[in-house]
Amino acid sequence: MPTGVIIDALAVLFGGLIGGGIGKFIPDDFKVKMNMIFGISSIVMGTYSVAPMKNMAAVIFAVILGTLFGIIIHLGHFVDKGAMAMQRVISKILPASPTNLEENDFKAQLVTLTILFCASGTGIFGSILNGFTGDSSILVAKAILDFFTAMFFAIELGYVAGFIAVPQFIFFIILFFAGNWIYPLTTPTMILDFKAAGGLLMLATGFRMLKIKMFPIADMLPALILVFPLSWLWTNVINVILK
């Protein structure tokens, strides 16, 4: 039973609906300050995830190769188009919340939030673990944070923030059912390196939220796949040769 996946998706949905409903009553100054808080929180969580990594070279190599691959196939462009298409559909169903964001800033925040919910290392690993062991504790803990994140972002972005729960649920449920064959192939070292790669994406997400640097986080997503084989290669081949 994908309990954790369902709880996390519902947390995003209801958080977004609540935030979208109260957005017009919230002062702009509050919105700016909360965005700063979530930005620094993302940086802290990313730093925490990176710290335990075992093979730094493998993680860095995965991020470099993954980003190059993402840029070559224009992955960021497709994610942008998908996020804006979702916004257009939602705006026809529910009234749009007033926002002071320009179109490019709105798109950037929507894409950032989509990556934050759908591609975090915690969510991916939690879904795989939930599928293999039935342990939903990681996703339940994530759901609490996601509820408030969706609510506060929806204050600025509108109801569309909550409906990111749809692609999130689809992605996580696929990982849930794939967990039975993915998890046995991993090792504790591979998991730590995977979380570190996810942590780097969280750091990049935080920098985007704070508008310090607009990292191409959508193009960086393939790193989360490449880090598994590269971590195994570094542990079982490269490190053995270097000894």
Query: In whole angstroms, what is the distance from residue 164 CA to residue 183 CA?
Result: 26
Determine the pLDDT at residue 98. Answer: 54
Question: Could you give the count of Cα atoms lying within 13 Å of 172 in the half-sphere of its Cβ?
Answer: 35
Q: Tell me: the pLDDT tens digits for 20-55?
A: 888 778 787 887 787 788 889 889 888 988 988 999
Q: What SS3 class is residue 69?
A: helix
DSSP state of 217: T
Determine the pLDDT at residue 235. Answer: 92
For the chain, which residues make up each domain, given as ranges? 3-235
Percent of the chain with pLDDT over 70: 95
